[in-house]
């Protein structure tokens, strides 16, 4: 899951939804998603 400083974009992505705070991150180029916890 190395992306910072990588010569390519890497596999990590942030995906936003239509609802407020409906954001997801994926570390494996869309194979799985985790919802972003905005409370921290």
Q: Is the entire prediction scored with pTM above 0.75? A: no
**Residue 7: predicted pLDDT:** 79
**Residue 1: predicted pLDDT:** 54
Element (H, E) at 13: strand 13-16
15: pLDDT strictly greater than 80: yes
Domain ranges of the chain: 1-40
Q: What is the fold of 1-40?
A: Nuclear Transport Factor 2; Chain: A, (3.10.450)
Place of tokens 């910072």: 4
> 4, 12, 15: which is closest to 28 by C-alpha?
12
Give per-residue pLDDT as tens, 17-39: 898 989 999 988 899 999 999 99
**Residue 11: predicted pLDDT:** 82
State the pLDDT confidence band at 3, using cuts at 50, 70 and 90.
Answer: low
């Amino acid at each position: 899951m190395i992306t910072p400083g990588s010569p390519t974009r890497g596999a990590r992505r942030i995906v936003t939804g239509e609802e407020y705070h409906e954001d997801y991150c994926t570390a494996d180029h869309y194979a799985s998603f985790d919802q972003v916890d905005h409370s921290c």
